[in-house]
Amino acid sequence: MVKRSTWVWLILFLAVIGSFLYLKYRPAPSAEPTPTVVTTSYLFTEADGTCIRVRIYDRQYHIMMMERPSGGLWTLALPIPGPADQAHAEAGAAQIGALLIVDTIKTSQPLSSMGLDFPSYVMKLTFQNGIQHTLEIGDNTLTGSGYYVRLDRGAVYIVSPDGISELLNLLTAPPYLPPTSTPVPVIDPTPVPSATLQPVTSTP
């Protein structure tokens, strides 16, 4: 007959063995996923400064150019010189700093496959600090995620379509200041009484 103390030691021994095997072969705790940091990149940054001239033309050389002196007001220089609607001009120019880079084209694709061998539009931008940039705009991507653009005849990007579309609206509808309407004079419909002719009498 096995003594009671022997059973106790046997149970303790099995418990130790079980704990050892569990600790050795238990599954490793899953690591918490590292949060993905989303970086937002824009085509033009604060380092470029304040834009003072925007010139846009297309393949048919329809052209629009607006400019402003430092601290001054926007004016239209082309196609016809004239004052600009400041709200519309500033809203369009603000899109320059909002051109979001969706992707960078790192492969050596031919420019013709992106519509950049003969761009649909060209933008020439001049900034207050003297920096000038040329932005060529090609085709829209097949997925509609943006336009293929080439900056300063160098790097090629896909840029969000929103800002591009707003800037192209400056070409199709230049932000001229609406003419001030001249008030039309009101004509009094009351007829003017005609003068009564008095007979002329001869003096004898």
Q: What is the pLDDT along the chain (204 residues), one digit of tens a residue?
A: 556 666 556 676 666 676 666 666 666 555 555 544 456 899 998 888 899 999 999 999 999 999 998 778 999 999 999 999 999 999 999 999 999 999 999 888 899 999 999 999 999 999 998 899 999 999 999 999 999 999 999 999 999 998 999 999 999 999 999 887 555 555 555 555 555 545 555 554
Q: What is the pTM of this model?
A: 0.69
Which pLDDT belongs to residue 102? 94
Helices (H), 69-158: 86-94
3-state SS assignment for residue 50: coil
Which pLDDT belongs to residue 46? 84
Look at residues 136, 155, 138 and name the one whose alpha carbon lies nearest to residue 147: 138
Distance CA 173, CA 64 (A): 9
Sign of CA dihedral 194, 198, 199, 202: negative
